[in-house]
Chain A
Amino acid sequence: MSELPQKAKVVVIGAGIVGNSIVYHLAKLGWEDMVLIDKGPLPNPGGSTGHASNFLFLATHAKEFAELTMDSVRLYKELGVFTECGGIEVARTEERLEEFRRLMGSSKKWGIESHYVTPAEVKEMVPFINEETIVGGFYTPGVGVVDSLQAGTLMREYGEEKGVLQSFPNVEVMDIETEDGAVKAVVTDKGTIETEYVVIAAGVWSPRIAKMAGATIPLTPQVHQMISVGPIDILSETDGEIGYPIIRDMDTFMYERQSGGDMEVGSYAHRAILIHPDDIPSIEEAEMSPTELPFTEEDFEPQFEHSLEIMPDILGDETAGIRHAINGLLSLTPDGYPLLGETVEVKKLWSAAAIWIKEGPGTGRLIAEWMTYGESEIDAHHSDVSRFSNYARGEYHSDQRTAEAFIKTYGIVHPREQWESNRNVRVSPFYHMEKELGAVFFETAGWERPQWYASNEKLLAEYGDKVMDRPNEWDSRWWSPIINAEHLAMRERVGMVDLTALSIFDIKGSGAVEYMEKMAMAKMDVAIGRGVYTPILTPKGGFKSDLTILRLGKTHYRVITGGADGPRDMKWFSNHLPGDDSVYMVDMTSAYCTIGVWGPKARDLMQSVTKADMSNEAFPYGWTKKIRIDGVEVLAFRISYVGELGWEIYIPMEYGLGIGKKLWEAGQEFGVVPVGIGVYGTTGRLEKGYRLMSAELDADYSPVEAGLARPKVKKADFIGKEGYLKAREEGPTAVLCTLTVEDHTSKSGVKRYLQGGEPILTLDGETIKDAKGRYSYATSAGDGPSLGKQVLLAYLPLQYAKIGEKLYVEYMAENYPVTVRSIDSTPVFDPSNERMKG
């Protein structure tokens, strides 16, 4: 074997399925001078790839996972290592059957073929199942198993044969050197490699390696238990590795997967068992491999019984022994998504971690494209490693959240479900006031935000049927009709909304104007005092973000974006700062708290607390102004995300409580109501057709399709301009439409309410796919209390994007009639925005 080179373009650390796929795709994209290292031997270095169960189920609610898995299946097939065997998720409970109905909706919207199957049909496919334990199944024929080690070997060899890659097993990384905040060299026990890029694809060890460079990759390795039982005659008789569909016994959080003459039984039912990267044994210390820890049988005991219930004939056979049993390690993250992209702390240090077998090859392609083009075909918005706020980048948060998350692996997770661990991390100055008003807090980016207020329960009687109460438990979980009552009260009187969770950063310096023009699609060289809503585009013209920018001075801008979007947006903005000191960026999130004051009485309320002229003439829509309340200078911005007259008030944090109380007390006269994020984020927003990043807006759709194209294109050059111009020229393939649900009554007579994510169907009940292969589904769904109907946003191909067009939406295996109400950004409620601009 040759010596470790002293220089390389890129060093990829970790030769599991991910690292191998990255070098493969980088090689395909023309990269040269690459080095792949692993501290273990090849082809199985002892990481999680080596002990994976290697099966790929396809159905998922999450778009990124669906895309990565389908891309991975394609790649595994190309490499000739995919065996299609089918997979059946079986239900033991009615609740799970309902979840299958929801999952079918997701399968449809990602174009995955799935079928409901009866217990008898399951028995036909899997003769050794005890069909009496189950009430139904969800069959996906395209499920398969792969040889992930072989896939990795083939991909690695491609790069080696092309002469652009050298691979070195048994090389341990000791340090990563950086210079001026960027990667400089990888120090190993076999020598130092100077390099331009480093990719950490080291699975469960990734946090440890990132730490060497001063970077963070927040994942926590956890145990997943698996036993292998055999020999089993009926399995030995099949040809090859697998002859029967894989069973996922969802209600016991287990799977049964044939592997030759053995049945592998895996569990996600046990307690969370966290193993920190520094506590993982070395190859020499480990009894089996570093990621195959000793089996702790007491954690698996209920699973013995469950496995006997579902497959009594073969697993109850006393001659079939437990031949192998492990506590296998895999990577869990605080929110369940992978950790992809350049690290927040160190430039050209990339993370490709927390990826499972079913996403491995596709993720490799994604990372390679992202490194090459600055973006990838599959948008990694949710998986972007820079998504975490600072507090969430460490071990503490990851440990708590992953410990809570483990049991959700096979669980039924409501789309609005809240985390219980590590709460109350960030609270606004109004927190105690809100608590007294019975706020029910939801979390975003560590911030506690009132979703609704119990003290508003009295409004329910006031609005009666208009609050659109939800009789079904699932529909109403993590929800309250009070949200709709708050909405109606705000539209009638005035509401106060705590918006402290917004992320705020300032851009200053002599080059600020030029820089901001480069970043934003909308014109930035606007009058001082103006606030502008603008898309932020990727290099190819898809959505990177959308946010509001205030011009506060000649060379001073303030960027306001969502709490959860802040860290990602700040990474994007900071990466594009000019290398000199002409522009600088300061995170102001902790400096300001924010209150939204909205409703017909908003002006009366505001005028009652300030001497500043709040009239429409003196303070028109879209402008900012410094005003004083009780002598404290605050920044008021006349804008609204809920379609009402009013302001966002930015208050220096320490004055927040005083000003909040002042507004609250002054508001009593005007019938002020505390309003939660349920209104701000859903009902108010949807009635106005406002788009939400990562729901409606992502890199797959252009501003033209999202209905956010401006009448004119600004002269200044900006990121994504070329793609944007092209999209304007080509016109949309599909456009974002607003639809309303015409009848909520299900077959059983109970009114059902959508949650978002449901597929849109033709009147023939067929799925709708545009010319680019994108399916139509409700990117958002929520109540429009002022309309008396639910409102959906959905991209529709042009032939369906007609006002008045009648279609169906599928929810829990039933079709509900919907009508297209808007085919651009024109809101369904108050289309001419009179309320807001009055």
Chain B
Amino acid sequence: MTILTLIEHEQGIIDPQTLSMLTAARGLAQEQDLPLHAVLIGANVSGLAAELGEYGVTAVHMIEQDALADFAPNAWAACVVEVMGAEKPTAVIGAGTERSNEVMAHVGARTDLPFAANCLTIQPEDDAWFVKRVRWGGTLHEEARLYGDPKLLTIAALGIEPEPSSSGAPEIISVTPNLSDADLLVRVVSRIEPERKGISLTDAPVVVSGGRGVGSAEGFVILEELAGLLEGAVGCSRVVTNNGWRPHAEQIGQTGTRVAPELYIACGISGASQHMSGCSGAKHILTINSDSEAAILAKSDTAVIGDLHEIIPAVIAEIRKKTA
């Protein structure tokens, strides 16, 4: 009886959201008086085990194979199922990321168990667990009962601050699953570097984002300039991509990219829930909008009311003056 967690990592670094998930899962394990275990999958990943210990993991089920050097969701799921067979966990938990959701869905399919993605709160009960989970990209929440044994779920981890705990080094349990060709069929066979130079949208400390109010593709020139000055990236709302003013890769929102920068500057964006679910992780939202009643204001920290085509050039000039 354990709480088993799925560890996501890339290029030797544990995904920050996995650490957030571990923080939450640790609390759950303590409440249930259960040990916190982890499944660590890849090639050359043993170095990550120590850090897992810092987050309260007492045992790491380690699967190291060359074939798993790159992400292979179905094979990862086969590994998790293998560990489940041995450990009979009470619950298997991942972070609410694209990859972990995918792996957990495979686990659910392989075991014919239900799976609840992106849970916000978890209340273990005797049979079904009572969870609150994200719907509509966060616009709505759903309270639901999750059945099955073990419970399969992911935790919407973006808002959780990762907190280490003072546990010691975890026990390492090597697992050698028998992966078939079919398990390994779907895996990354090659990669293409991004065409775009400069800072990526998800990493940028500042995102200058434009909506319908920008008015045209040409209107984004001043947003690009401001983003350049602040060493940030340009984002946009769905209306903008639908109008063909910007590529979809820059779209922030439920069906685009989710960002959590230090500062999100929303220019001419009304604040539809579709969009807000993509930028609600920002530390500070500055809105520039001509409508002082726009829905986005309620979700902003600061705002300037007026025409963005006048305000942004004035801000650019002011920055230049200050930094000159």
A and B touch in the complex (CB under 8 A): yes
Residue of A nearest to B292 (CB): A170
Q: Does B310 contact A (CB under 8 A)?
A: no
Q: What separation, in Å, do the CA atoms of A1 and B291 have in the docked complex?
A: 11
Q: Does A169 contact B (CB under 8 A)?
A: yes
What are 11 A-B pairs at a CB distance below 8 A? A1-B292, A41-B290, A41-B291, A41-B293, A41-B294, A169-B291, A169-B292, A169-B293, A170-B291, A170-B292, A284-B295
**Residues of A near any B CB (own CB < 8 A):** 1, 41, 169-170, 283-284
Q: What separation, in Å, do the CA atoms of A283 and B293 have in the docked complex?
A: 10
Residues of the B chain whose Cβ atoms lie less than 8 Å from the Cβ of A170: 291-293
- Ordered nearest first, which 10 A-B pairs have the shortest CB separation? A170-B293, A41-B291, A284-B295, A170-B292, A41-B293, A1-B292, A169-B293, A170-B291, A41-B290, A1-B305
- How many residues of B sit at the interface, in one of the four size bands? under 10
Residues of the A chain whose Cβ atoms lie less than 8 Å from the Cβ of B305: 1
Q: What separation, in Å, do the CA atoms of A170 and B293 have in the docked complex?
A: 6
Chain B contact residues: helix, strand, loop or mixed:
loop
Q: What separation, in Å, do the CA atoms of A284 and B293 have in the docked complex?
A: 10
Residues of the A chain whose Cβ atoms lie less than 8 Å from the Cβ of B290: 41
Beyond contacts A41-B290, A41-B294, A169-B292: 11 other A-B pairs, Cβ-Cβ < 8 A, are A1-B292, A1-B305, A41-B291, A41-B293, A169-B291, A169-B293, A170-B291, A170-B292, A170-B293, A283-B293, A284-B295
- B 61-99 binary contact with A (CB < 8 Å = 1; else 0): 000000000000000000000000000000000000000
Distance in angstroms from A529 CB to nearest chain B CB is 66
Within 8 A of A (CB), among B282-324: 290-295, 305
Residues of the B chain whose Cβ atoms lie less than 8 Å from the Cβ of A169: 291-293
Residues of the A chain whose Cβ atoms lie less than 8 Å from the Cβ of B294: 41
Residue of B nearest to A284 (CB): B295
Distance in angstroms from B225 CB to nearest chain A CB is 27
Residues of the B chain whose Cβ atoms lie less than 8 Å from the Cβ of A1: 292, 305
Q: What separation, in Å, do the CA atoms of A1 and B294 have in the docked complex?
A: 15
Residues of the B chain whose Cβ atoms lie less than 8 Å from the Cβ of A41: 290-291, 293-294
Residues of the A chain whose Cβ atoms lie less than 8 Å from the Cβ of B293: 41, 169-170, 283
Q: What separation, in Å, do the CA atoms of A1 and B293 have in the docked complex?
A: 12
Q: What separation, in Å, do the CA atoms of A283 and B272 have in the docked complex?
A: 12
Q: What separation, in Å, do the CA atoms of A195 and B118 have in the docked complex?
A: 55
Distance in angstroms from A187 CB to nearest chain B CB is 18
Q: What separation, in Å, do the CA atoms of A399 and B182 have in the docked complex?
A: 66
Interface centre among B290, B292, B293, by most chain A C-beta atoms within 10 angstroms, is B293
Within 8 A of A (CB), among B90-132: none
Distance in angstroms from B217 CB to nearest chain A CB is 16
Distance in angstroms from B261 CB to nearest chain A CB is 26
Residue of B nearest to A283 (CB): B293
Residues of the B chain whose Cβ atoms lie less than 8 Å from the Cβ of A284: 295
Residue of B nearest to A172 (CB): B293
Distance in angstroms from A283 CB to nearest chain B CB is 8
Q: What separation, in Å, do the CA atoms of A169 and B291 have in the docked complex?
A: 9
- B 41-54 binary contact with A (CB < 8 Å = 1; else 0): 00000000000000
Distance in angstroms from B213 CB to nearest chain A CB is 11
Q: What separation, in Å, do the CA atoms of A1 and B295 have in the docked complex?
A: 18
Q: What separation, in Å, do the CA atoms of A170 and B291 have in the docked complex?
A: 9
Q: What separation, in Å, do the CA atoms of A41 and B291 have in the docked complex?
A: 6
Distance in angstroms from A440 CB to nearest chain B CB is 56
Q: What separation, in Å, do the CA atoms of A571 and B305 have in the docked complex?
A: 46
Residue of A nearest to B295 (CB): A284
Residue of A nearest to B291 (CB): A41
Residues of the A chain whose Cβ atoms lie less than 8 Å from the Cβ of B291: 41, 169-170
Q: What separation, in Å, do the CA atoms of A613 and B304 have in the docked complex?
A: 88
Q: What separation, in Å, do the CA atoms of A40 and B293 have in the docked complex?
A: 8
Q: What separation, in Å, do the CA atoms of A1 and B292 have in the docked complex?
A: 10
Residue of B nearest to A287 (CB): B272
Residues of the B chain whose Cβ atoms lie less than 8 Å from the Cβ of A283: 293
Distance in angstroms from B253 CB to nearest chain A CB is 16
Distance in angstroms from B300 CB to nearest chain A CB is 16
Distance in angstroms from B291 CB to nearest chain A CB is 4
Q: What separation, in Å, do the CA atoms of A41 and B294 have in the docked complex?
A: 9
Residues of the A chain whose Cβ atoms lie less than 8 Å from the Cβ of B292: 1, 169-170
Distance in angstroms from B312 CB to nearest chain A CB is 20
Residue of A nearest to B271 (CB): A284
Residue of B nearest to A170 (CB): B293
Distance in angstroms from A497 CB to nearest chain B CB is 60
Residue of A nearest to B290 (CB): A41
Distance in angstroms from B4 CB to nearest chain A CB is 43
Q: What separation, in Å, do the CA atoms of A170 and B295 have in the docked complex?
A: 12
Q: What separation, in Å, do the CA atoms of A663 and B251 have in the docked complex?
A: 85
Q: What separation, in Å, do the CA atoms of A284 and B276 have in the docked complex?
A: 14
Q: What separation, in Å, do the CA atoms of A169 and B293 have in the docked complex?
A: 9
Q: What separation, in Å, do the CA atoms of A169 and B294 have in the docked complex?
A: 12
Distance in angstroms from A786 CB to nearest chain B CB is 69
Distance in angstroms from B212 CB to nearest chain A CB is 12
Within 8 A of A (CB), among B217-241: none
Q: What separation, in Å, do the CA atoms of A41 and B292 have in the docked complex?
A: 8
Residue of A nearest to B293 (CB): A170
Distance in angstroms from B161 CB to nearest chain A CB is 32
Q: What separation, in Å, do the CA atoms of A823 and B292 have in the docked complex?
A: 65
Residue of A nearest to B294 (CB): A41
Q: What separation, in Å, do the CA atoms of A41 and B305 have in the docked complex?
A: 12
Distance in angstroms from A42 CB to nearest chain B CB is 9
Distance in angstroms from A643 CB to nearest chain B CB is 66
